[in-house]
Amino acid sequence: MVWKIDDMIAVLSVEDKVKLVVGVGRAKEVPGAAGETRSVKDVKPISLTDGPSGVRIEGSGDLWYYATAFPAPIMLASTWNPEVVEEVGKAMGEEAKYYNISVLLAPGLNIHRHPLCGRNFEYFSEDPLLSGVMAATFVRGVQSTGVAATLKHFVANEQEVNRRIVDTIVSEKALREIYLKAFEIAIKEGDPWAIMCSYNKLNGVYTCQSEWLLTQVLRNEWGFKGLVMTDWGAGDNPVEQIKAGTDLIMPGNDDIVKWVIEAVNRGALPIHYLDRAVKKVLELIERTATARESRREIDWKKHSEVAYRAAVEGVVLLKNNGILPLKPGTRVAVFGTGQVETLKSGMGSGHNHPRYVVTILEGLKKSEVIVDEELSSRYENYVLSKRGKDKLDKLYRDEILLEHIPQDIVSEEDVAKYAERNDVALIVITRISGEGWDRKSVKGDFYLTDDEQKLIDIVSKYFHSKEKKVIVILNIAGPVEIVSWRDKVDAILVIWLPGQEAGKVVADILLGRVSPSGKLPITFPKDWKDVPVAKSSECYPGIPQDNPRFVVYCEDIYVGYRYYDTFGIEPAYEFGYGLSYTKFEYRDIKVEKTGTSVKVSLDVINVGAYPGKEVVQIYIKAPKGRIPKPFQELKGFKKTKLLKPGEKERIEITIPIRELASFDPDRKLWVVEPGEYQVRVGTSSRDIRLIASFTISEEHVFAP
């Protein structure tokens, strides 16, 4: 780079400056990338692209930008392992750099408020701490390569229906404690170089046009030093956006350039606002200079291993009646089209184009189980006849919404035959979702279809009659209803959207090459009527309505487990839940309080028969005080190393006193109320193994 920021600003005309802060529209430098800045004087354009599950550049003709498909963020969160998430971020940064991309439009860290938001798979969790920590480490990984990471979508963009106009009505308390909190943690711990304001309005104002959000909270209170860009086409007034604190309008077009120049000339946009934005754009270009240095070859094999490691740690075992792990040589009958059209990711900008996807069937065939090939080839032929070969070949290169096709293509007599000649049955159930639409609380989406239920019924009936067991694999973008069928099967594995190594991950988990260590980053409700957003429908005109103008966050701070725990509602599987093939014991808890923090330490011992990793979760139950609080909140977590049978690890988790605070909307302060705080150490939010306490003797207050 030959220029210096201040010297450059001094020589730029108003038109030059405006061109720098408004993207070019269709990307030319890297055709198919999501966006690009403009070339102005000696300032060269930089390219930006998605996304959270892998680098996404849309090729055409013979030009394909293959990139590794990593597990979706919902699965990264299920690992509860920041180290693997950092590795994924680094690998994605390297691939972005390889394609001359300077800014990666990830991670997404909106909150899973609504279990059926179409983009939940692109977001981490219903909990702000887990989301924020995962995002921070992802950012550190990406930025270690010189590529900028972008936190998105700031903020309160928890539904897709009408996302460009919907007005999210939410209290300042819920915003601060839940929705902003995830971003605050990611910014303070990850130092991202960019953030993307969202499409929606927040309490009446488009987020990209909210000075309160972008200047007061983000920059003044949190000290964010990076660049703010709009989501693609967000908001309705670029001048208001720049005034509010937006620095880069994306994807941009010439009409917006004219609009902003005219506003400057007319005095409607004082030049200092424009200069502020220009400076941020130039800083971002300067910060990412190394991303545009000579192209370094990618070790694709190594990246596929990163994708595999992250996915295998994110598999969640919900149920196991002793059937898993399988022994080598087990004869397996695989039912369901998902064995062939395995979903690697969701749809929309959170999708990408890997060179291959190992389907569940391919993964199993290469493993030490013996697949009933005749049965699987029936599913293969069925899928081919229903979808067509072209569509299937393109499945992993294009995003295709696959309509549900009946799964019960086998007759009862056939199932009886398969039960006779195999040792175990595997049923694959899939659910996809994507940008621009939300899932629905109906059969075929949240609920299983009749044909899926029937398949479970007949397979269970005939396999159980032969004393053989049935395993269900959920290849899903978000929660489904499980209670109505879970007693009919023996084991349930959630593999989410596991990326390109899907089949290998499934085979290794089934065979116990790796013991499952994923934990749910969300609650699986028993039924739709139990979900907080369904309950608050009287004051909630949002989804599932088709054309909502508002969405009211009536449940306030009681999001996810905060709701189920506070109001005594039993979920199907709670936040933080996940089984292992081995067993862990928790011992010798010690709590040490200083003036600024609380240190919790304890031993975790593997008392089972397999090597495994455990996720230690610390929930704090605050004393009853003046400010409303949920029953308990996650305040720390740590995944152990791989513990061999009999091995022990001492875990230490430090919680800053500040993180115990609740937001007091009357005083506009964070307040830690005095009293006895309970430290609840669990292997899930409801399986609490150790309890201790500490006392806060006087009130602590913190400015936001």
Q: Which residues are catalytic?
A: 231
CB of 702 to ligand BGC, least distance (A): 32
Tell me how far apart the alpha carbons of residues 23 and 36 are, in angstroms, rounded to a whole number: 6
Q: What is the rounded distance in angstroms from the CA atom of residue 68 to the CA atom of residue 52?
A: 12
Task: Rule CB under 6 A: say whether 37 interacts with ligand BGC.
Answer: no
User: Under DSSP, is residue 698 helix (H, G, I), strand (E, B) or coil?
Assistant: coil
Beta-strand relationship, 669-672 and 700-702: antiparallel
DSSP states of 95-155: HHHHTT--EE---B-----STT-TTGGGS--SSHHHHHHHHHHHHHHHHTTTPEEEEEEET
Least distance from ligand BGC to the Cβ atom of residue 662, Å: 31
Contact call for residue 399 and ligand BGC (CB under 6 A): no
Q: Which of 152, 319, 439, 680 binds ligand BGC (CB under 6 A)?
A: 152
Q: How far is the CB of 133 from ligand BGC (least distance, A)?
A: 21
Whose CA is closest to 115, among 509, 534, 547?
534
Question: Which are the contacts of 563, defined by CB distance < 8 A and separation ≥ 6?
Answer: 532, 555, 569, 630
The site string for ligand BGC over 504-523 (x = CB under 6 A, - otherwise) reads --------------------
What is the closest distance, in whole angstroms, from the C-beta atom of residue 231 to ligand BGC in the complex? 5
Site for ligand BGC in 80-139 (CB under 6 A): 105
Of the pair 49, 210, the CB lying nearest ligand BGC is at 49
Number of residues that bind ligand BGC (CB under 6 A): 7
User: What order do you get walking across the sheet with 205-206 strand by strand?
Assistant: 205-206, 201-202, 167-169, 550-552
Nearer to ligand BGC, 72 or 340 (CB): 72
CB of 434 to ligand BGC, least distance (A): 11
For ligand BGC, the closer of residues 107 and 612 by Cβ is 107
Q: How far is the CB of 104 from ligand BGC (least distance, A)?
A: 10
Torsion angle defined by CA atoms of residues 577, 579, 585 and 586, in that order, rounded to the nearest 10 degrees: -20
253 belongs to the binding site for ligand BGC (CB under 6 A): no
Q: Look up residue 43 and give its two tokens.
A: 């300032």
Q: How many Cβ atoms are within 10 Å of 650's Cβ, its own excluded?
A: 12
Shortest distance in whole angstroms from residue 122 CB to ligand BGC: 8
Under the binding rule (CB under 6 A), the answer on residue 349 touching ligand BGC is: yes
Q: Does 3 bind ligand BGC (CB under 6 A)?
A: no
Residue 407 binds to ligand BGC (criterion: CB under 6 A): no
User: Of 649, 651, 636, which Cα lies nearest the Cα of 606?
Assistant: 649
Residue 546 structure tokens? 């088709």
Q: Which of 8, 12, 34, 180 is in the footprint of ligand BGC by CB under 6 A?
A: 34
438 forms part of the interface with ligand BGC (CB under 6 A): no
Nearer to ligand BGC, 288 or 430 (CB): 288
Would you say 105 or 616 has its CB closer to ligand BGC? 105
When binding is defined by CB under 6 A, the residue of 12, 18, 50, 341 that contacts ligand BGC is: 50
Task: Give the integer Cα–Cα distance in Å for 593 and 657.
Answer: 9
Q: List binders of ligand BGC among 189-248 (CB under 6 A).
A: 231-232
Among 431, 403, 437, 346, which Cα is nearest to 118's? 437
Q: Which residues of this protein are in contact with ligand BGC, per CB under 6 A? A: 34, 50, 105, 152, 231-232, 349
